[in-house]
């Protein structure tokens, strides 16, 4: 069963704490301490109180954006196309847990989490390492660019295709490779297609009922 957790009750609680409550008048200092403890308790429930594949708040992309050097995460993302292509982000963590965030044209919109087979994170790290991900990330975007500074060129290009991305956040380094699926016939194409296919295989296998 999916569970949705809201922060709305905190506003109600704060309202009660702003007036005499249970016969005790709280000072501003004490109200602040109580509210902080309640927020901390709710945060613990959000982090550890959900079972596999149930909706999870707050969304993980905020954590990645706010503290990228602490995230330690691999991500696989699919972007929009001219049509009903699924749009989502799939984050994989060192403990082999994942967070799925569905944006559009998926079964479940929102944030959900689950557990992968043991060793999945490590195998994906080995996969990108063996495919020279660092070198690929220096190009970054494999698609048609309107920038005059862009050095990459597609051999052939078709419009209205989605983009797929793999991102890696390790310690101080943030690496990302994005492929517009309408871009083809370039030297790195086979390496990129094979690498993305293995990522997507894991996502589809573990995203049943979500995508």
pLDDT, tens only, 64-120: 455 544 557 899 999 999 999 999 999 999 889 999 999 999 999 999 999 999 999
> Taking the C-alpha atoms of 190, 75, 209 and 48 in order, what is their torsion angle to the nearest 10 degrees?
160
- Full domain range(s) for residue 179: 60-206
Q: What is the pTM of this model?
A: 0.66
55 is a domain residue: no
195 is a domain residue: yes
* Encoded tokens for 132: 């020279």
Residues 141, 134: Cα–Cα separation, whole Å: 13
How many distinct structural domains can be found in the chain? Answer: 2
Pairing relationship of beta strands 141-142 and 173-180 according to DSSP bridges: parallel
- Residue 47, burial from CB neighbour count under 10 angstroms (0-12, 13-18, 19+): exposed
The reported pLDDT for the residue numbered 72 is 76
* 191 and 97 assigned to the same domain: yes
* 38 and 120 assigned to the same domain: no
The reported pLDDT for the residue numbered 66 is 54
* 89 and 150 assigned to the same domain: yes
Q: Are 160 and 83 in contact (CB under 8 A)?
A: yes
Residue 209 DSSP SS3: coil
**Residue 15 burial (CB count, 10 A):** 10
pLDDT digits (tens, 9 = 90+) for 171-192: 667 889 999 999 999 999 999 9
* 76 and 151 assigned to the same domain: yes
Report which of residues 127 and 13 the model is more confident about: 127
* 202 and 162 assigned to the same domain: yes
* 96 and 65 assigned to the same domain: yes
* 117 and 180 assigned to the same domain: yes
* 44 and 67 assigned to the same domain: no
CA distances, 118 to each of 92, 94, 129, 174 (Å): 12, 10, 19, 24
């Amino acid at each position: 069963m999916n569970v949705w957790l809201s922060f709305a009750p905190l506003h109600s609680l704060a309202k009660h704490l702003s007036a005499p409550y249970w016969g005790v008048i709280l000072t501003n200092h004490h109200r602040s301490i109580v509210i902080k403890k309640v927020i901390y308790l709710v945060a613990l429930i959000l982090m550890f109180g959900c079972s596999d594949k149930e909706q999870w708040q707050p969304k993980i992309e905020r954590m990645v954006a706010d503290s990228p050097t602490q995230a330690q995460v691999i991500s696989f993302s699919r972007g929009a196309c001219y049509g009903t292509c699924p749009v989502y982000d799939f984050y994989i963590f060192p403990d082999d847990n994942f967070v799925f965030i569905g944006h559009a044209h998926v079964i479940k919109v929102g944030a959900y989490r689950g557990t992968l087979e043991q060793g999945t994170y490590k195998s994906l790290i080995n996969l990108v390492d063996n495919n020279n991900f660092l070198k690929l990330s220096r190009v970054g975007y494999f698609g048609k660019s309107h920038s005059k500074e862009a050095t990459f060129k597609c051999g052939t290009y078709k419009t209205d295709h989605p983009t797929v991305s793999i991102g890696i956040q390790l310690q101080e380094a943030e690496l990302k490779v994005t492929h517009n699926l309408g871009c083809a016939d370039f030297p790195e194409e086979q390496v990129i297609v094979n690498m993305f296919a293995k990522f997507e295989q894991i996502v589809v296998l573990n995203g049943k009922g979500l995508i």
